[in-house]
Amino acid sequence: MSTEAPFISMEQVSYAYAGSAAVVRSIDWTVPTGEFHSLIGRSGCGKTTLLKLAAGLLHPSSGVVRLQGDVVDAPSRHVGFVFQTPSLLEWLTVLDNVLLPVSLRGGVTPDDRNLAMELLELVGIGAHADRYPQHLSGGQQSRAALARALVTSPPALLMDEPFAALDAITREELQDDLLRLTKLRNSTVLFITHDIAEAVYLSDRVAVMEHGSMSYTTAIDLAGRRDGETRYAPSFSATCRQIRSAMSTPLPETA
Amino acid sequence: MMRTRLLSIALFLALIVIWEFGTRLSGVSALVIPAPSAVLVVLWNGLTQGFLWPHIWVTGVETLLGFALGCLIGFVVGIVLGESDRLRRIVWPYILASQVVPKLALGPIFIIWFGFGMTSTVIITALICFFPLLENTLSGTQLATPEKRDLFRMLGATRLQTLFQLKIPTGLPVIMAGVRVAIVLALVGAVVGEFIGGSEGLGASIIAAQGMMDTTLMFALFIVITMMGLAFYQLTILLEKWLLRGRNKGTTL
Distance in Å, alpha carbon of B140 to nearest chain A alpha carbon: 15
**A94 located within any domain:** yes
Which chain A residues have any C-beta within 8 angstroms of a chain B C-beta?
A: 52, 55, 57, 75, 77, 79-81, 83-85, 87, 89-91, 93, 100-101, 104-105, 132, 134-138, 140
User: Is position A166 within any domain?
Assistant: no
User: How many Å separate Cα A187 from the centre of its chain?
Assistant: 11
For chain A, what is the domain count?
1
Whether A112 is covered by a domain: the verdict is yes
Q: H or E element: which one contains B202?
A: helix B202-211
**Can you give B72-111 as a three-state secondary structure string?**
HHHHHHHHHHHHCHHHHHHHHHHHHHHHHCCHHHHHHHHH
Q: Is residue A43 part of a domain?
A: no
CATH of the domain at B92: 1.10.3720.10
Asked if residue B96 belongs to a domain, the reply is yes
Does residue A4 lie within any of the structural domains? no
CA angle A89, A92, A93 (to 5 degrees): 120
The total of structural domains in chain B comes to: 1
Q: How far apart are CA A217 and CA A238, in angstroms?
A: 15
Residue A204 belongs to a domain: no
Interval B112-170: pLDDT, tens: 898 888 899 999 999 999 999 999 999 999 999 999 999 999 999 999 999 999 999 99
Residue B168 lies in a domain: yes
Tell me how far CA of residue B242 lies from CA of B173, B237, B239, B245, B247, in angstroms: 11, 9, 5, 5, 10
Domain ranges, residue A145: 88-153
> In this structure, is residue B249 part of a structural domain?
no
Predicted-complex ipTM score: 0.88
Q: Which amino acid is at B48?
A: T
- For B51-57, which contacts have Cβ atoms below 8 Å and span 24 or more sequence positions? B52/B205, B52/B220, B52/B224, B54/B200, B55/B200, B55/B201, B55/B202, B55/B204, B55/B205, B56/B202, B56/B224, B56/B228
Task: Report chain B residues whose CB lies below 8 A from the CB of A105.
Answer: 155-156
A219 dihedral zone (left: phi>0; alpha: psi -120 to 50; beta): beta
Q: Would you tell me which residues 143-182 of chain B have a C-beta closer than 8 angstroms to some C-beta of chain A?
A: 145, 147-148, 150-157, 161, 165-166, 169, 172
- pTM score, whole prediction: 0.85
The mean pLDDT values, 10 residues at a time, for chain A of 255 residues are 72 89 90 92 87 93 91 89 93 95 92 93 91 92 93 93 87 89 90 92 92 87 69 85 78 49
In which domain, by residue range, is B100 found?
Answer: 51-241
Residues of chain B found within 8 Å of residue A75, distances taken between Cβ atoms? 153-156
Decide if A102 is inside a domain: yes
Decide: B67 and B183 in contact? Cβ < 8 Å. yes
What is the tens place of the pLDDT at every residue in A205-245? 999 998 888 888 888 877 655 676 788 888 888 888 888 88
pLDDT of B126 reads: 94
Instruction: Output phi, psi for A190, to 5 deg.
Output: -115, 115
B44 within domain boundaries? no
Contacts with B153 from chain A: Cβ below 8 Å: 57, 75
> Which residues, 6 or more positions from A157, have their beta carbon under 8 angstroms from its beta carbon?
A79, A80, A81, A82, A149, A150, A182, A187, A188, A189, A190, A191
Whether residue A103 is contained in a domain is answered as yes
| B127 occurs within a structural domain | yes
Closest-CA distance, B164 to chain A, in angstroms, reads 11
